[in-house]
Amino acid sequence: ETGVTQSPTHLIKTRGQQVTLRCSSQSGHNTVSWYQQALGQGPQFIFQYYREEENGRGNFPPRFSGLQFPNYSSELNVNALELDDSALYLCASSLGNWELEQYFGPGTRLTVT
Partner 1 sequence: AQSVTQPDIHITVSEGASLELRCNYSYGATPYLFWYVQSPGQGLQLLLKYFSGDTLVQGIKGFEAEFKRSQSSFNLRKPSVHWSDAAEYFCAVGGGKLIFGQGTELSVKP
Distances (CA, A) of 69 to 31, 46, 77, 84, 112: 11, 18, 14, 28, 27
Q: Which is nearer to partner 1, 52 or 99 (CB)?
A: 99
Cβ at position 81, least distance to partner 1 in Å: 22
Binding site for partner 1 (CB under 8 A): 4, 33, 35, 40-45, 48, 55-56, 58, 90, 92, 97-107, 109
Closer residue to partner 1 in complex, CB, 14/84: 84
- Comparing CB distances to partner 1, the nearer of 16 and 61 is 61
To the nearest whole angstrom, how small is the minimum distance from the Cβ of residue 12 to partner 1? 16
